[in-house]
Structure 1
Amino acid sequence: MHISLRHILASLSVAALTSSVVEAIPTRIQRDSESSLLTKRATDSLTRADFQNYASSAINALQKTYWNTPSGLWGSYDNSGKFSPQWWPSANVLTMMANYYGKYPTTATWMPDVFATILTHAPAYAKGFLNDYYDDELWWVLAWIQVYDATGNVTYLNTAAAIYEDPKSVYGNTPCGGLWWDKNHAGVNSVENELYLTASAKLANRLPAKKNSQGQGYYYSQALIAYDFLITNTTTSMNPSTHLFNDGISMTTCKNNGKIVFTYNQGIILSGLTELTWSTRSHSYTAIAVQIANSVIANMTTSEGILQEKACEPNACNGDEQQFKGVFTRNLAFMVNRATGMDADVLAKYRAFLALNAESIIRKDTSSDNMLGLVWSGATKPVYSVQSDGSALDTLVGAAITALN
């Protein structure tokens, strides 16, 4: 009996309220794959191979449109050909590509050249991948960890560890604890503190032998401190009734500021909690992650189950916000593949969610030249950017690497 993706999601969501790199890139988009996908009947479910093929085609198109070899970054070109780099979005595109390469290396043999180019060229924009924003720095930490996971090259892991030292050196120095968003101390937000937890937990699992002066795990101890700040203390920016994170905390009260709920704040922490379960074998961490993920699926989607940045879609998302949704789907996919002890029905729900969203992107949110837009359910005036492209690709890759067949 055929059961639709929407049926699976509906049945499981009831309880949740809650060399030259350019030369190495293929010179032709895989339109044969694209055509075969788009001519499938709407009632047909796409397979793992479909998602992989389509992701490959869209990655090639992204690379031709937004990549700049001299800077080692992605960005946009104006009509005169002048390139404007996108700094932290480039870290996210790199993470997405490494995620793809780790699963399908033979289909993207040019990607290691891109990784190496970024490592050598991008620091001209920000020396050592450091700038005035701790969240930017931590995006690059996570990107290089993903490249290490994909390639096994310890140079990338060492790069991540070196960047990490800058935010670590000031962690806990705000009046409320945790990490400042920036070096001018404009505020304490969810994003940089979730990134710090996740980066700490990932480094702890990859460099477990490193100890602090008390003989504790150097990174693991930091992950636990960040966990307390984000989850168990009164400083938490999580709403206990919805299990969703607001954008930050009030510097007057050191409590949830009640401001905007963005999808990426729900996604970043999923990987950190999953890594903590991996470290400790305690399922209490992934239990929280499941609450968060279920609440996103229940509360931050369209009536058809398509993820939506409700704070700004369809016409008011800035460049940063166009990146956000893919952070959630990427980390949800990581949780599916990495988590231990998760119920089979929960895993099925998340696979179905990723597949449903990927199918919607393919059928409703893709231009004729393989650009991927902001509104995954389709828009009358589509928005295309390197951020929207990378975000949607996170979902296509996530569907490919989690699909069972």
Structure 2
Amino acid sequence: MLFSLLSSSLLLAATASALPAELESRATNQYLTNSHVAITELQTFYKQPSPAPWAGGWWNSANCLTLLADLRAKDSSSFLTSITDGANGVFKTTLNNQARDSTNALSYTDFFDDQLWWILALIKTSDVTKDTSFLQAANLTFAAVTLNNKASNNPCGGLANAYPSEKYLVKSSTIATVLYVAAAAQLATRYPAQKTYFLNKATTQWSWITKNILIDGIMQGDALTGSPPSCSNNHAFLTYIEGVALQALVALYHATNDASYLTTADTLATKLLSGKYGMMDSNKIALEFCDNENSCNPDLAQFKGIMMRGLRTLRDAKPDVAGGQIKGFLTKNADSIWNNDRQSGTNLLGEKWAGPFVLESGSAMQLSSHSSATMALVQAALANM
């Protein structure tokens, strides 16, 4: 398949001058070609039936589904549709093999943020396929998160990341709360009759984020700890929190037509791309705090690709945002991944995008690193379409 793909790409490049402008752009989009190669490698991790079909964590699999849906929205190539579409494609089989609770909500782990990642993945897949069963599953799962994430368990506000009995419970979790905002705002535009309900959920939690986490125009802190009036913030900077915040702001804009959300997102993206907050190196290659020592775990290794998706989502809504820097940032990182962080022979992508490639120990870590980097390639491909 790889030989066929590369051969087709060479043929397209050779005949590009004879193609209409739109087709020529697609034919010469090297980021799209590279995305296809990376997806071929991604699918070596794919196992069915399983609630976590890509052999790793459940939330990681949600992000694998999302990256495929992101690309499928603009790419109807036979390569991609053979993977995603139809009764046996990953879209439908992934949904059909999900674990459900008594309300028919997706429920496989004790983590609310895991459920919320799946809600976003299902909404995107519903948009692409026009199959309402994905949206219905997202709605039911959102209702379960809302019901079970009780304010009494979060004295400092926001949402917890997990049930109270979970060993790795984080109260007043930034990522759970900002995911909830993104999910609620997206559902508001897809369920017009319930728009007010969903928007109230989204704006209530966004107000908490604005007060406690969105500090000096950029997201700071992965949770609040303690209890009122002594709730404290560790002011951590994590790439995926920034990325989801950008998605949430764009979703709030689409749900309200209030351009102030895009203004807030513009400031956030500008600060993020300034390189002052430790989320990229001196050459503007995205960096997680654990990358330099290759010490990330399978959760942390997933983060950077999510930041890239948030930036591309914002650019789609406002192309000149952040002084027009986003497309260049996406393509520069995609180039670095492809040239410096790719295993020869397998096309497996690594954790540190500036390179050099290091083969991670264990399939979960390899999947997280590869799928995160593949997300970055996909975002660059979409920015060049």
Give TM class, smaller chain.
Answer: 0.7 to 0.9
2:375 to 391, 394, 400: 394
Is contact 1:29–1:57 with CA below 8 Å preserved after alignment? no
Cα distance 1:33–1:268, how it changes in 2: closer, same or farther (>3 A)?
Answer: farther
What is the one-letter code of the residue matched to 2:284? G
The alignment status of 1:137 with 2:118, answered yes or no, reads: no
Superposition pairs of residues 41-56 of structure 1, within 5 angstroms: 49-56=29-36
Give the structure with the larger helix fraction: 2
Report the equivalent of 1:120.
96
Closer, same or farther: CA 376–284 of 1 in aligned 2, 3 Å: same
Q: What whole-Å deviation, never above 9, does each CA across 1:358-405 have from its counterpart, x for those lacking one?
A: 11111111112111111111126343611111111111111111125x
- Farther-moved stretch of structure 1 (279-288 vs 269-278): 279-288
Alignment of 1:376 with 2:353, yes or no, is yes
Quickly say closer, same or farther: Cα 1:72–1:136, change in 2 above 3 A. Answer: closer
Pairs within 5 Å for 1:99-114: 99-107=70-78, 108-110=80-82, 111-112=84-85, 113-114=89-90
Given that 2:184 and 2:198 are in contact with CA atoms closer than 8 Å, whether structure 1 keeps it comes out as yes
3-state secondary structure, aligned to 1:122? coil
**What's the TM-score once normalised by structure 2's chain length?**
0.83
Aligned partner of 1:93 in structure 2 is: 64
Q: CA offset at residue 244 of structure 1?
A: 2.9
Mark the runs of 5 or more structure 2 residues left unpaired by the alignment. Answer: 12-25
Quick check: 1:71–1:124 contact (8 Å CA) kept in 2? no
CA offset at residue 129 of structure 1?
2.0
Deviations 1:271-320 (A, max 9, x none): 11011112222221112112222222223211111110024434111110
2:106–2:141 CA contact under 8 A, matched in 1: yes
Question: Taking structure 1 as reference, are residues 86 and 32 closer, same or farther at Cα in structure 2, changes over 3 Å only?
Answer: farther
Aligned to 1:365: 341
The answer to whether the aligner puts 1:275 opposite 2:251 as a matched pair is yes
- Cα shift readout 1:131-158 (whole Å, capped 9, x = no counterpart): 3111011000001011011111111111
1:171, distance to aligned residue in structure 2 (A): 5.1
Match of 1:329 in 2: 308
Take 1:171 and 1:69, find their aligned partners in 2: how far apart are those partners?
A: 34
Q: Which of 206, 211, 219 is the equivalent residue of 1:244?
A: 219
1:335: how far off? 1.3
SS in 2 for 1:109: helix
Cα deviation, residue 34, structure 1: 8.6
- Map of 1:228 onto structure 2: 207
Matched AA of 2:35 = A
CA distance in 1, matches of 2:179, 2:271: 20
Q: In structure 1, what residue type is equivalent to 2:160?
A: W
Give deviations 1:232-275, integer Å, cap 9, x for gaps.
x3xx12332x6232111123346452153210011111111011
Aligned to 1:204: 188
- Equivalent position of 1:172 in the other structure: 151
After superposition, give the CA deviation of every residue in 1:6-47 in whole Å (9 maximum; x if it has no partner). xxxxxxxxxxxxxxxxxxxx58673447999xxxxxxxxx99
Aligned pair in 2 of structure 1 residues 311, 244: CA closer, same or farther (>3 Å)? farther
Aligned partners of 2:106 and 2:137 also within 8 Å:
no
**Shift in Å at residue 106 of structure 1?**
2.6
**For the Cα contact (< 8 Å) 2:243–2:311, is it kept in 1?**
yes
Q: Percent identity at matched positions?
A: 29
Q: Is the 8 A contact 1:181 1:189 kept in 2?
A: yes
Q: Indicate how the Cα distance of structure 1 residues 258 and 59 shifts in structure 2: closer, same or farther if over 3 A, else same.
A: same
Unaligned runs of 5+ in 1: 1-25, 37-45, 77-84, 212-216
Answer yes or no: is the 8 Å Cα contact 2:350–2:358 preserved in 1.
no
Segment drifting more, 250-259 vs 88-97? 250-259
Describe the SS at the equivalent of 2:287. coil
Report the CA distance shift for 1:142/1:296 in structure 2 as closer, same or farther (over 3 A).
same
Q: Deviations over 1:328-353 (max 9, x none)?
A: 1011111111x2xx463636311111
Alpha carbons 2:52, 2:58 under 8 Å: kept: yes
Q: What is aligned with 2:14? A: none
- Given that 1:306 and 1:357 are in contact with CA atoms closer than 8 Å, whether structure 2 keeps it comes out as yes
AA at the equivalent of 1:344? D
Task: Confirm whether residue 320 of structure 1 aligns to residue 299 of structure 2.
Answer: yes
CA contact (8 A) 2:178 2:245 kept: yes
Listed one character per residue, the Cα deviations across residues 181-235 of structure 1 (whole Å, up to 9, x for unaligned) are: 1111542211000000000011111112225xxxxx121111111111111x3xx
TM-score (norm 1): 0.80
**How many residue pairs are counted as aligned between the two chains?**
350
Comparing both chains, which one has the higher relative contact order based on Cα–Cα distances under 8 Å and sequence gaps of 6 or more?
Answer: 1
The CA distance in 1 between the partners of 2:369 and 2:178, in whole Å, is 22
The structure-2 alpha-carbon separation of the partners of 1:70 and 1:188, relative to structure 1 and needing over 3 Å to count, comes to same
* Residue 177 (structure 1) shift: 2.4
Partner residue, 1:191: 175
How much does 1:74 deviate? 3.8
Distance 1:256 1:95, change over 3 A: farther
For 1:41, the equivalent position in structure 2 comes to: none
In 2, Cα distance between equivalents of 1:331 and 1:402: 12
